[in-house]
């Protein structure tokens, strides 16, 4: 199980990396390698050139602005999970990161790599799609920004521009009152999930709930944000949540494989979505009732 022959380059800047991608149609970016290298070893991926972006300083930064947290594409999953910035301002991502692989893959795997790889069961992609994070690519010397809620279009398929280099992921900071829930189910704890769900409820004192975000992953070809705006202004009791989630899940197409039937995926994603929303609600109920 050895990869095909390829060249290897280690650019120092994003623009140098982009230049390399332009120079070779069959070039691929190597980030953390935790998904790419198995595909290389099985010869499912056969690049002629690997562009290792690990040595581009600006890709490894985690930046807090007034409104956003910007996570460089090369930030390791373990570092993101250990970051106080992520814990405080991106509580949903913080929760989800605990489900990504296991310690050795989180040590190498990157935030950007997971987004670019676009596995339908990827937790980071689910959170990004659910919250509508901005995905920033550098292409042709300019930045191109994608809305994560529509970026994923199929298994391992995205709207990523050819010869583009993913540079960062920008999340809106969670408000002071924010509840989150993340659930996933897999045969074994660290397996690809059979179903997953992420939920976040934003609220403000006096205004009550201002935004509700829900997404399900692993059930279809890509992570799917669900429209649950109908919950805003409701009691958010279990019955209401159940009704809205069931309705929202109706249109979700689920896939079948050896490990789970399509019906299972739909049933369990629905249940997990309900549980995630309940968790989120329960987290803020105290703040709202004050």
Partner 1 sequence: MSEPKYKFLSTPRRPVEDRRFVAGRGKYVADLERPDMLHVAPLASHHAAAVINSIDGSKALAMPGVIDVITGDELAGAVQPLMNGLNTPNVRRFPLAVGRVRYAGEWVCAVVAESRAIAEDALENIIVDATPQPFVLDAEQALLDSSTPVHPEHGSNLLLDRKFVWGPVDEDFAAAAHSLSFSVTWGRNSTVPIETFGVIAEWNGWDQMLDIWASIQMPKYADQIARSLGLPGNAIRVHYDVDVGGSYGVKRGIKHSVLVGYVARKLGRAVRLIEDRLENMRAGDAHGPERKFDVAVAFDDDGTVRAMKMRALDNAGAYAGRAPFQLGKPISAIVGPYKINSVAYHALSVTTNKTVQEAVRGFGQAPTNYAIETAMDRVAEYLGMDRLALRQHNLIRADQFPYLIPSGSHYDSGDYHAVIDKVLAAADYPAMLAERDRLRADGMMAGIGIAACLEPSGGNSSFEPLLNESNKTSTWMESCQVNVDALGCVTARIHTTSSGQGHETLVSTILGEVLQINPELIRITRPNSLESLPGNSPVGSRMAIMLGGAAARAGEKLKAKIMAIAAHHLAVDVDQLRYESGDVIAPDGRSLVWDDMIELAHRQYHSLPDGMDPGLASFDIMQVPTGEALPADGKVQMYPCYAFEFHLVLVSFDPIIGRPDIHSYFIGHDCGTVINPAIVSGMTYGGIAHGIGAALFEEFAYDANGQLLTQSFLDYLMPSSHEVPAINIVKHCTPSPHTVFGQKGSGESGYLGSPAAVSGAINDAVAGLGIHFEKLPIRMSAISDAIAAKSS
Partner 2 sequence: MNDVTLSINGKAVSAATEPRVTLLDYLRDVAGLKGTHAGCEHGVCGACTVLVDGDPVRSCLMLAVQAEGVDITTIEGIGGLGARAGELGIIQDAFCEAHGLQCGYCTPGMILAAEALLSVNAAPSEHDVREAISGNICRCTGYVQIVEAIMLAAKRLRQRNDTSAPDLTPA
Size of the site for partner 2 (CB under 8 A): 30
43 makes contact with partner 1 (CB under 8 A): yes
Q: Is the dihedral of CA 98, 103, 104, 110 positive or negative?
A: positive
CA distance 148 to 127: 9
CB of residue 19 to partner 1, shortest distance in Å: 29
Choice from 23, 25, 38, 261 touching partner 2 (CB under 8 A): 38
Site map for partner 2, 62-101, x if CB under 8 A?
Answer: ----------------x----------------------x
259 makes contact with partner 1 (CB under 8 A): yes
Choice from 143, 191, 229, 253 touching partner 1 (CB under 8 A): 191
Binding at 30: pick from partner 1, partner 2, none (beta carbon under 5-8 Å per type): partner 2
CB of residue 168 to partner 2, shortest distance in Å: 21
The strand pairing partners of 7, in sequence order, are 49
Helix axes 238-249, 262-289, angle to 10 degrees: 140
Of the pair 78, 139, the CB lying nearest partner 2 is at 78
Of the pair 136, 198, the CB lying nearest partner 1 is at 198
Of the pair 188, 289, the CB lying nearest partner 1 is at 188
What is the Rg, in whole angstroms, of the alpha carbon atoms belonging to the chain? 19
Contacts of 223 (CB under 8 A, 6+ apart): 120, 122, 125, 126, 128, 129, 130, 152, 215, 216, 217
Helices (H), the chain: 14-23, 36-41, 77-82, 84-89, 91-97, 103-108, 111-117, 123-131, 148-151, 238-249, 262-289
Q: By CB under 8 A, which span of 79-87, 128-136, 143-151, 258-266 interacts with partner 1? A: 258-266
Site of interaction with partner 1 (CB under 8 A): 1-5, 42-43, 185, 187-192, 194, 258-261, 263-264, 267-268, 271
């Amino acid at each position: 199980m050895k990869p095909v022959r390829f060249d290897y380059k280690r650019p120092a800047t994003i623009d140098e990396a982009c230049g390399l991608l332009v120079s070779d149609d069959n070039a691929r970016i190597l980030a953390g390698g935790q998904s790419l290298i198995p595909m290389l070893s099985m010869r499912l991926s056969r690049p002629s050139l690997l562009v290792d972006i690990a040595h581009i300083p600006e890709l490894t930064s985690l930046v807090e602005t007034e409104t956003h947290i910007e996570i460089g594409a090369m930030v390791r999953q373990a570092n993101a999970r250990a970051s106080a910035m992520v814990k405080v301002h991106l509580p949903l991502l913080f929760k989800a990161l605990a489900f990504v692989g296991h310690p050795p893959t989180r040590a190498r795997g990157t935030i950007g790599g997971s987004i670019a790889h676009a596995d339908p069961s990827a937790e980071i992609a689910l959170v990004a799609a659910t919250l509508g994070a901005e995905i920033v690519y550098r292409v042709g010397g300019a930045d191109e920004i994608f809305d994560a809620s529509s970026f994923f279009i199929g298994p391992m398929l995205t709207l990523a521009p050819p010869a583009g280099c993913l540079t960062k992921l920008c999340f809106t900071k969670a408000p002071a009152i924010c509840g989150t829930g993340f659930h996933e189910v897999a045969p074994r704890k660290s397996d690809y999930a059979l179903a997953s769900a992420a939920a976040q409820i934003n609220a403000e004192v006096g205004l009550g709930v201002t935004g509700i975000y829900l997404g399900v992953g692993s059930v279809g070809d890509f992570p799917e944000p669900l429209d649950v705006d109908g919950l805003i202004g409701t009691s958010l009791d279990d019955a209401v949540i159940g009704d809205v989630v069931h309705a929202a899940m109706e249109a979700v197409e689920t896939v079948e494989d050896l490990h789970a039937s399509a019906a299972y995926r739909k049933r369990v994603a629905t249940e997990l979505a309900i549980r995630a929303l309940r968790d989120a609600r329960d987290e803020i109920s105290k703040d709202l009732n004050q």
